[in-house]
Amino acid sequence: MADQASLLPAESLTVAYIGLGSNLGDSLQILRRTWEILGRQPGIRLHRLSSPYRTRPVDMATRNWFVNGAGSVLTALSPEELLAVLHLVEKRFGRKRDPAARGYRDRELDLDLLLYGDCVRREGQPVLPHPEMHRRLFVLLPMAEIAPDVRHPLLHRSMGDLLRSAAHGSDEQAARRISWPDTTA
């Protein structure tokens, strides 16, 4: 049975952007498998996936660098439903969310709903757009790759422009593009 996203024309679906990250295990394989799993979820149609980027951890004390990326999907799901799917996929990879825990921790998988169309929500979950995305190179690098002209709905600036601002004066070694593993073998 076909799901609702595959039956609807693309123009009736919402474009959502998802941040993907991992700094434990085989991060490249984890993110690649995550993307494939997302594509099999009802109400989600994969659109574009960025290159992976190896990035220095931000606001956490760890030696484990991250692999980050961003992807766009076409979805018939609401923001709440899409976030619930992202959390279920994280859980599948062993992620345990502890609301009482403070600070960031190493993790096999981190999925963030960055943008959901032009939706702006300041209360409830998910907050949209993601409140820190415009400050983080590990989000803006892959976003600018797949959607350089998409505008932040609150700042009214493109992803490419936000990346240029965030990159100004930043450590050039903090992030670099890498490649997805060859899956043809």
Whether residue 4 is predicted with pLDDT greater than 80 in this model: the reply is no
Whether residue 70 is predicted with pLDDT greater than 50 in this model: the reply is yes
Active site residues: 95, 107, 110, 112
**What's domain 4-177's architecture?**
2-Layer Sandwich (3.30)
Whether residue 155 is predicted with pLDDT greater than 90 in this model: the reply is yes
Query: 103 pLDDT band (50/70/90 cuts)?
Result: low
- Confirm if 124 and 78 have CB atoms less than 8 A apart: no
pLDDT at 61: 86
Question: In this predicted model, what pLDDT tens digit does every residue of 104-138 receive, in sequence order?
Answer: 788 999 999 999 999 999 998 999 999 999 999 99
Which residues are within 8 A (CB) of 161 and not within 5 positions of it... i.e. 6 or more apart?
A: none
Angstrom distance (rounded) from CA 105 to CA 16: 26
Whether residue 100 is predicted with pLDDT greater than 80 in this model: the reply is no
Query: 7 pLDDT band (50/70/90 cuts)?
Result: low
Domain ranges of the chain: 4-177
Question: In this predicted model, what pLDDT tens digit does every residue of 10-33 receive, in sequence order?
Answer: 778 999 999 999 999 999 999 999
Question: In this predicted model, what pLDDT tens digit does every residue of 43-56 receive, in sequence order?
Answer: 999 999 999 999 99
* Cα-based distances in Å from 84 to 79, 87, 96, 181: 9, 5, 14, 28
Angstrom distance (rounded) from CA 11 to CA 67: 32
43: left (phi over 0), alpha (psi -120 to 50) or beta: left
